[in-house]
Chain A
Amino acid sequence: MAKVMTSGGEALIKALADENVDIIFGYPGGAALHIYDAIYQQDRVQHILVRHEQAATHAADGFARATGKPGVCLVTSGPGATNAITGIATAYMDSIPLVVISGQVPNHLIGTDAFQETDMMGISRPIVKHSFLVQKPEEIPVIVKKAFHIATSGRPGPVVIDVPKNLTDPNEKFEYKFPSDLYLRSFALYNEAENSEVKKAVKLLTEAERPVIYAGGGAINSNAAEEIYEFGKLMGCPVTNTLMGLGVYPASDEQFVGMLGMHGTYEANMVMHEADLIMAIGARFDDRITNNPNKFGLQAKKIHIDSDPSSIDKIIDVDVAMTGNAKKVISQINKELKAMNFDNKKFDPWMKKAMQWRADHGLNHNMLDQKNPGDIILPQQVIQSAYKATDGKAFVTSDVGQHQMFAAQYYHFNEPRKWINSGGLGTMGFGLPAAMGVKFAFPDETVACITGEGSIQMCIQELSTCGQYGLPIKIINLNNRALGMVKQWQDMQYGGRYSSISYEDSLPDFIKLAESYGHVGMKVEKLSELQAAMEECFALKDKLVFLDVYVDPDEHVYPMLKAGGDMSEMYLSKTEKTFE
C-alpha cells in the first residue's frame, strides 16, 4: 500500500474516521485551527458547530447514551477547554464514554501563561478516566486508538486528548499508520465472574424468601437488558431500577415496582427495606439510593455485580461480589437457574405484598383525568400527557429539578437508552444539548427534552444550533416560575424561607424566544387544553416546538426519603409520612 502522509491535524481527523466516528461536536479557536482546517478538507467526519463548549460535551454525551457508542467533541484551549469541564464531569459521574479533544498552546509556550493557555491535563484530572498530552505528532493515531479503547472498555468514562497546536502544523507531514492492535500494560478487564461466585450467588438467590433485583446505569452501559429481563422472569420477584437504570427492565412489566431511592416509589423503597436479599446489578449504592447507609438493607444479604472492583464494598459490604460485565455475569446466573429448573412460586406472596404497597401509596396514574376546578395543571399531568402523545416511545432527555423527577416517575421507559439524564452530577443545562446529540444519532425518532424554566436557560443558546441543523426536538417546559426543587427543600427544611429561587417578573417570553430562533412556540395554562397542545406539539414532525406549560408552582415531588433515615422512612405528600 502506498504511504499516506498526513499532518498531525489530518492524522487526528483521519484516526477518528478510522475509529468509525462520523460526527463530532465542537467549537473552534486559535489552538484548534489547524485541526479545523483538516476537518474542512475531508468529508468522513461531520463537525457540528454548537454555541457553547458545554453543549458540545453534553451533545456528545447524549449521543453516547442513546447509541452506546463513544461521543466525541473538539474544543480550543483556555476558555474552550474550561467551558467543556462541566460536560466532562457530567459524563464522568455517569460513566459515559466520551473522547474530548482540546487544542493546546504550542509546546514551547506551555508553562509560560501564554494567551489562552490552561493546564487542561491538570484541570480535568479528577474528572476523566484518563488523559493524554500529545508529545509527537506521529503518536496521534495510537493515542486516538488508546483513548477510544479506554473510554469504552470496563467501566466507561471520558478521556481527554490535549493537542499542542504546533503538533498539528499542516506543513509538517509524517507517515500515517493506524494501529491494528493495541498494547496496554496490565489493563485489567473483567468479563465473566468466577464460577464459584456464581454458585454462591445462585444459592443465595434461590434460598431467599424476599429477593429484589436492583439494576442501575451499569446494566445499561453493558447492554444487559435482555439478560436482566430473563433473569427477572426466572426469579419472579420485584425489580427496581435506579434513576440511571430506568428502561433496563421494562416499566410496564408486572414485576417492576418503579424507581427506588430519594424520590423512588413507595413500593420500591419498601421492597428494598423489607427484602432479605438485594441483588445489585451495575449500581453503586449511591447516597441517593441507600439513604442512611448504616440503616440500609439490614435484613438483607447482598450480591453485587459491577465492572469496577472499586465500586464493590465501597459504601455497603456485600456477601457475594462479582466483578465483571453485567451482561455476561447475568447470563451465567440465568444458565444455572435454568439448569436447576428453579421454581419461583415461593416468591408469590412477596410479590403480592409489593403490589399491596403499590395499591396503598403508589404513584397516581389517574391524575391526568382529574378535573380540578381551577384548571390548574399539575407537573405530573404534563409527563402523563407527553407519555400518551408519544405512546411511551420517545427518547426523553431531561434537565435537573422537580421536572426531572416527575419525568423519571411518570414516563414509563420500556427500553434502555431512552431516558437520558444527568444523574450523578445533576447538571442543569444538560437536557437540550443532550437531546441534540440523540437527534443526530436517531433523526427519525421522536426526541423530547423535559425541562424547567430554570434549567433550560442554562443552555438556551443551543436553540440556534437546532435551527442551523434543523433538529425538530420537542422541548416540554414545566414552567413553575421557580427553581422548584430548591424551593421544595426550602419549604421542607427552611420554614418556607424562599432564598433566591424566583425570577417571575424577568422570565423571557419563551414563545417569542423560540420564534426568534425560527422555531415554533406554544403556551398552555389550562389542564383542559393540555392534551390537545401536546398532541399538536408532537404532530409537528419537522419543527422544533417549545411547549411552555404553566404548572402548579406549589407542587412537591413525593415520595421523598427522610434525611438520615432508612428506606422505609418517606414523606408521601405534604400531609402524610411513614414515620413519626
Chain B
Amino acid sequence: MNHIALLMENQPGALSRVIGLFSQRGYNIDSLSVAPTQDETLSRLTMTIGEEGADINQVLKQLYKLVDVVMVQNLNEADALTLELAIIKLNKTKAEVEGLLKNYEFEREILDEKDNYTVFKALGDTQEIENLLSELKKEEFLEVTRSGTLGMTKGNESLATNDQTKISYD
C-alpha cells in the first residue's frame, strides 16, 4: 500500500481535479481523507493507493502537475507516521467485544452499548485495522466506518509551505 500526503489550494474544483486524475489515468484510490489546514487557503489530503496497476512515481508526477497541488509526498519513502480510525458496531455485548479485542495491540475504546449492540473505536495502523476487519467479517452483524489513513512525517521534515513563486514581467 502506498500512502501519499498532498497539500492543495482550497479552491472550488481542486478536489475533483485530484480525484478525476485517478479515474482518468486508471489508478485506484483505496482511501482518501481531506480537510482544511491551519492555513485556510490550503487543504491537506492523505491517500492510500493499492500496489496494483499504478506506477507510484507516475501518480506522484501527475498529481504534482495539477496547478492546484502545492506539495506531494510519498509517505512510504519518508520517515512517517500513519494512523487510521475505525468506528465499528457489532451485535454483541460490551463484554463480548472486549473479549474479541484482547489480542490486538491498537488503541480502542468502547463508545456505546445499546440493545445488545456495541459501538467501539479502533485507532491504529491501517494494516492492523484491516486485520481486525477480516477477522470480524465472520460475525453476523458488522457495521464499520473508517477515516482513511492519515499521515505525517517525523522530525523537522514538513509538507507545510508558504513558498510562492513570484513571476515577474517586464
| Given A125-B20, A129-B67, A186-B71, residue A149 in contact with residue B12 (CB < 8 A) | no
Tell whether, in the assembled complex, residue A186 and residue B163 are in contact, meaning their CB atoms are under 8 Å apart. Answer: yes
B13 within 8 A of A: yes
Closest to A130 in B: B67
B113 within 8 A of A: no
Closest to B59 in A: A310
CB<8 Å pairs between A and B, sample of 13: A122-B16, A125-B17, A130-B66, A150-B67, A181-B167, A181-B169, A182-B169, A183-B166, A185-B9, A185-B70, A186-B165, A188-B165, A309-B64
| Given A125-B20, A187-B165, 6 new contacts (CB under 8 A) | A125-B17, A182-B169, A183-B164, A185-B9, A185-B165, A314-B58
> What's the nearest-Cβ distance from chain B to residue A554, in Å?
39
> What's the nearest-Cβ distance from chain B to residue A131, in Å?
7
Tell whether, in the assembled complex, residue A185 and residue B163 are in contact, meaning their CB atoms are under 8 Å apart. Answer: yes
Q: How far is the CA of A431 from the CA of B58 in the complex (A)?
A: 34
- 0 or 1 for each of B64-76: is its CB under 8 Å from A? (1 = yes): 1111101100000
> What's the nearest-Cβ distance from chain B to residue A190, in Å?
12
Return the contact of B13 from the options A133, A189, A314 (Cβ within 8 A): A133
Contacts of B12 in A (CB 8 A): 121, 133, 135
Contacts of A185 in B (CB 8 A): 9, 70, 161, 163-165
Contacts of A309 in B (CB 8 A): 61, 64-65
Closest to A153 in B: B167
Tell whether, in the assembled complex, residue B62 and residue A184 are in contact, meaning their CB atoms are under 8 Å apart. Answer: no
| Given A185-B161, A308-B65, A310-B61, residue A126 in contact with residue B20 (CB < 8 A) | yes
Contacts of B62 in A (CB 8 A): 310
- 0 or 1 for each of B22-65: is its CB under 8 Å from A? (1 = yes): 00100000000000000000000000000000000110011011
A171 within 8 A of B: no
Tell whether, in the assembled complex, residue B168 and residue A313 are in contact, meaning their CB atoms are under 8 Å apart. Answer: no
Tell whether, in the assembled complex, residue A181 and residue B13 are in contact, meaning their CB atoms are under 8 Å apart. Answer: no
> What's the nearest-Cβ distance from chain B to residue A70, in Å?
15
Q: How far is the CA of A422 from the CA of B68 in the complex (A)?
A: 28
Return the contact of A186 from the options B13, B61, B70 (Cβ within 8 A): B70
Q: How far is the CA of A493 from the CA of B21 in the complex (A)?
A: 34
Tell whether, in the assembled complex, residue B65 and residue A310 are in contact, meaning their CB atoms are under 8 Å apart. Answer: yes
Pairs A-B, 6 closest by C-beta atoms: A310-B61, A130-B67, A182-B167, A183-B164, A186-B70, A126-B24
How many residues on the A side are at the interface (Cβ–Cβ under 8 A)?
A: 27
Q: How far is the CA of A180 from the CA of B165 in the complex (A)?
A: 14
Number of A-B contacts (CB under 8 A): 67
Q: How far is the CA of A121 from the CA of B68 in the complex (A)?
A: 14
Q: How far is the CA of A492 from the CA of B12 in the complex (A)?
A: 49
Contacts of B67 in A (CB 8 A): 129-130, 150, 184, 187
Q: How far is the CA of A180 from the CA of B168 in the complex (A)?
A: 7
What size tier do the contact residues of chain B reach? Answer: 20 to 34
| Given A126-B20, A126-B24, A314-B58, residue A121 in contact with residue B13 (CB < 8 A) | yes
Q: How far is the CA of A235 from the CA of B58 in the complex (A)?
A: 32
Contacts of B165 in A (CB 8 A): 183-189
Tell whether, in the assembled complex, residue B166 and residue A131 are in contact, meaning their CB atoms are under 8 Å apart. Answer: no
Q: How far is the CA of A310 from the CA of B68 in the complex (A)?
A: 16
Contacts of A189 in B (CB 8 A): 165
Within 8 A of B (CB), among A119-138: 121-122, 125-126, 129-131, 133, 135
- 0 or 1 for each of B142-170: is its CB under 8 Å from A? (1 = yes): 00000000000000000001011111110
Q: How far is the CA of A23 from the CA of B143 in the complex (A)?
A: 60
Contacts of A308 in B (CB 8 A): 65
Tell whether, in the assembled complex, residue A188 and residue B64 are in contact, meaning their CB atoms are under 8 Å apart. Answer: yes
Contacts of A150 in B (CB 8 A): 67
Contacts of B64 in A (CB 8 A): 188, 309-310
- 0 or 1 for each of A287-321: is its CB under 8 Å from B? (1 = yes): 00000000000000000000011101110000000
- 0 or 1 for each of A225-250: is its CB under 8 Å from B? (1 = yes): 00000000000000000000000000
Contacts of A313 in B (CB 8 A): 57-58
Q: How far is the CA of A182 from the CA of B61 in the complex (A)?
A: 24
Tell whether, in the assembled complex, residue A186 and residue B161 are in contact, meaning their CB atoms are under 8 Å apart. Answer: yes
Contacts of B169 in A (CB 8 A): 180-182
Contacts of A187 in B (CB 8 A): 67, 165, 167
> What's the nearest-Cβ distance from chain A to residue B9, in Å?
7
Return the contact of B168 from the options A122, A125, A181 (Cβ within 8 A): A181
- 0 or 1 for each of B1-20: is its CB under 8 Å from A? (1 = yes): 00000000100110011001
Within 8 A of A (CB), among B106-151: none
Tell whether, in the assembled complex, residue B16 and residue A125 are in contact, meaning their CB atoms are under 8 Å apart. Answer: yes
Closest to B68 in A: A130
Q: How far is the CA of A133 from the CA of B68 in the complex (A)?
A: 13
Q: How far is the CA of A314 from the CA of B17 in the complex (A)?
A: 20
Q: How far is the CA of A180 from the CA of B169 in the complex (A)?
A: 6
Closest to A186 in B: B70
> What's the nearest-Cβ distance from chain A to residue B63, in Å?
9
Q: How far is the CA of A135 from the CA of B11 in the complex (A)?
A: 11
Within 8 A of B (CB), among A241-279: none
Contacts of B163 in A (CB 8 A): 185-186
- 0 or 1 for each of A307-337: is its CB under 8 Å from B? (1 = yes): 0111011100000000000000000000000
> What's the nearest-Cβ distance from chain A to residue B140, in Å?
42
Q: How far is the CA of A131 from the CA of B164 in the complex (A)?
A: 20
- 0 or 1 for each of A183-204: is its CB under 8 Å from B? (1 = yes): 1111111000000000000000
Contacts of B20 in A (CB 8 A): 125-126
Tell whether, in the assembled complex, residue B166 and residue A181 are in contact, meaning their CB atoms are under 8 Å apart. Answer: yes
Q: How far is the CA of A180 from the CA of B166 in the complex (A)?
A: 11
Contacts of A188 in B (CB 8 A): 64, 165
Q: How far is the CA of A188 from the CA of B165 in the complex (A)?
A: 8
> What's the nearest-Cβ distance from chain A to residue B40, in Å?
14
Contacts of A135 in B (CB 8 A): 12
Tell whether, in the assembled complex, residue A182 and residue B166 are in contact, meaning their CB atoms are under 8 Å apart. Answer: yes
> What's the nearest-Cβ distance from chain A to residue B168, in Å?
5
Q: How far is the CA of A339 from the CA of B140 in the complex (A)?
A: 77
Q: How far is the CA of A130 from the CA of B12 in the complex (A)?
A: 12
Q: How far is the CA of A463 from the CA of B125 in the complex (A)?
A: 65
